[in-house]
C-alpha cells in the first residue's frame, strides 16, 4: 500500500515542482527551439538537468529513454504527466529491449531523448550507448542544457540541478551533430557538443 501511494504521490510532486519553477522563472532560449513537425533528432541532456527539460519540449512527439530503476519509474510517470512519452531501459536494465524500441521509433519519424551519462554516470561523460543509438537510428545528436541565476545542487552522484524560483533561467540548444565513422571520434564530438552548451548555460548570467 505504501509503495502504491509513493508511486502515485512522487510523480505528482515532481510535476508540481516543475510547473512552479516553469512559471516563477523568466526563461530565455538560445538556439533553435523545438517545433512540432521538425526534422527528428536525438535530444541529449545531462542526467542532472532533466527536471525542467519538458518546459522547452512541450508537445514533443519523441520518446525519452528512462531507467527501469524505481527512481526511473517516478521520473517516467512525471514526464508523462507533462505530456512526454518514455521508453524504459538502461545500460544495466532492459537496455536491449528499450534500444530496439527507440530504433523503431526513429525509423517511424520520431525524435528520441536521452541522458548520455545516465543512469549511473560518471556524471557529464557521454557513454558509448549514445554513439550506438545515433549510428543505428541515423539521427543527429542535439545537445541541450539549462541553467538559472540561482540554483541548488543535490549531493547525489550527478549533483542534481534544481533552479530556484523567482530568478532568471536559460536553455541553450546546440546544432545537430551527426555520428562519425569511428566510435571514439564520435564520442569526442558528442562530448564536445554537450560541454559547449553546458558552458554557455552555466556562464550565461556571469
Residue 28 backbone dihedrals phi, psi, to 5 degrees: -105, 155
User: Taking the chain, what is the end-to-end CA distance rounded to the nearest angstrom?
Assistant: 48
92 — pLDDT class (breaks 50, 70, 90): very low
More confident residue, 204 or 96: 204
Whole-number average pLDDT of the chain: 90
Residue 148 in contact with residue 167, Cβ under 8 Å? yes
Residues in the chain: 206
pLDDT of 94 strictly over 60: no
Tell me how far CA of residue 176 lies from CA of 47, 82, 95, 158, 170, in angstroms. Answer: 20, 25, 25, 25, 19
Stretch 184-203: mean pLDDT, rounded? Answer: 98
3-class DSSP assignment, residue 149: coil
**Interatomic CA distance for residues 79 and 93, integer angstroms:** 20
163 — pLDDT class (breaks 50, 70, 90): very high
- Hey, where are the domains in the chain? 2-202
Amino acid at each position: 500500500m505504501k509503495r502504491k501511494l509513493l508511486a502515485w504521490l512522487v510523480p505528482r510532486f515532481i510535476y508540481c515542482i516543475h510547473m512552479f519553477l516553469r512559471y516563477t522563472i523568466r526563461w530565455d532560449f538560445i538556439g533553435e527551439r523545438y517545433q512540432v513537425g521538425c526534422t527528428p533528432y536525438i535530444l541529449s541532456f545531462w542526467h542532472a538537468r532533466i527536471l525542467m527539460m519538458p518546459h522547452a519540449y512541450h508537445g514533443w512527439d519523441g520518446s525519452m529513454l528512462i531507467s527501469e530503476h524505481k527512481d526511473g519509474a517516478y521520473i517516467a510517470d512525471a514526464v508523462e504527466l507533462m505530456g512526454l512519452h518514455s521508453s524504459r531501459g538502461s545500460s544495466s536494465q532492459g537496455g536491449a529491449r528499450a534500444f530496439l524500441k527507440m530504433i523503431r521509433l526513429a525509423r517511424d519519424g520520431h525524435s528520441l531523448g536521452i541522458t548520455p551519462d545516465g543512469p549511473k554516470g560518471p556524471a557529464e561523460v557521454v557513454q558509448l550507448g549514445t554513439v550506438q543509438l545515433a549510428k543505428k537510428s541515423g539521427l543527429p545528436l542535439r545537445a541541450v542544457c539549462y541553467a538559472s541565476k540561482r540554483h541548488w545542487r543535490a549531493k547525489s552522484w550527478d549533483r542534481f540541478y534544481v533552479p530556484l524560483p523567482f530568478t532568471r533561467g536559460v536553455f541553450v540548444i546546440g546544432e545537430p551533430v551527426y555520428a562519425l565513422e569511428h566510435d571514439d571520434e564520435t564520442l569526442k564530438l558528442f562530448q564536445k557538443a554537450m560541454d559547449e552548451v553546458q558552458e554557455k548555460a552555466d556562464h550565461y548570467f556571469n
